[in-house]
């Protein structure tokens, strides 16, 4: 009986594990959430949610974002990121757990990158989206997020 209960608890934990990552969700917007980190077409920061992105850089030389311009009215925007060593990198939108749209999904050499992102195939006016980055050698810290929010507005 104890073995069956233990198996049930472990099975539930394994099943729920992919759904427990608080950051890997489409962001809900509330009155108190500043939403996005606003930027102009050159990447200059204009204000807003400074808790997203890793634009100041982590202590290990990793950096990500912010998207510019943000909000976007044209379905093309840019992101800048740096990785300190050759690494496998994924940059993606997570629309649903079963619907991931990759911007980058490849091994990249160490360096700084500017990536144009074309979202014309799923551009929805007034929608918020969350863009994620994952690298094998990068571990997220509280001071440096692996995601940033983007708003599409006409």
- The answer, yes or no, to whether residue 6 has pLDDT greater than 90, is no
Query: Is the pTM for the entire model greater than 0.75?
Result: no
> What are the boundaries of each domain within the chain?
37-151
10 Å CB burial of residue 133 (0-12, 13-18, 19+) is buried
Burial class (CB in 10 A: 0-12, 13-18, 19+), 49: middle
- Residue 129: how many other CB atoms lie within 10 Å: 22
pLDDT grade for 70, boundaries at 50, 70 and 90: very high
- Rounded to whole angstroms, what are the CA distances from 9 to 1, 14, 19, 22, 144? 13, 9, 16, 21, 33
Query: Closest by alpha carbon to 68, among 45, 41, 91?
Result: 41
DSSP state for residue 68 in the 8-state scheme: B
In the prediction, which pLDDT does 14 show? Answer: 34
Class level of CATH domain 37-151: mainly beta
Yes or no: say if 93 and 101 are a contact pair by the CB < 8 Å rule.
yes
Q: Using one digit for the tens of pLDDT, what is the confidence trace for 86-123?
A: 999 999 987 666 778 889 999 999 999 999 999 888 77
Q: By the 8 A CB rule, do 63 and 89 touch?
A: no
- Give me the residues paired with residue 107 across strands: 88
């Amino acid at each position: 009986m104890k073995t069956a209960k233990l198996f049930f608890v472990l099975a539930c934990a394994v099943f729920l594990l992919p759904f427990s990552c608080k950051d890997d969700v489409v962001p809900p917007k509330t009155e108190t959430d500043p939403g996005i980190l606003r930027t102009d077409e050159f990447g200059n920061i204009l204000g807003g949610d400074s808790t997203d992105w890793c634009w100041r850089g982590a202590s290990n030389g990793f950096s990500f974002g912010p998207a510019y311009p943000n909000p976007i009215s044209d379905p093309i925007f840019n992101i800048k990121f740096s990785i300190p060593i050759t690494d496998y990198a994924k940059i993606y939108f997570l629309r649903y757990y079963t619907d991931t749209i990759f911007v980058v999904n490849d091994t990249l050499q160490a360096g700084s990158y500017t990536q144009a992102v074309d979202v014309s195939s799923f551009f929805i006016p007034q929608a918020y989206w969350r863009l994620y980055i994952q690298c094998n050698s990068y571990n997220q810290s509280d001071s440096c997020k692996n995601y940033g929010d983007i708003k599409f507005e006409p």
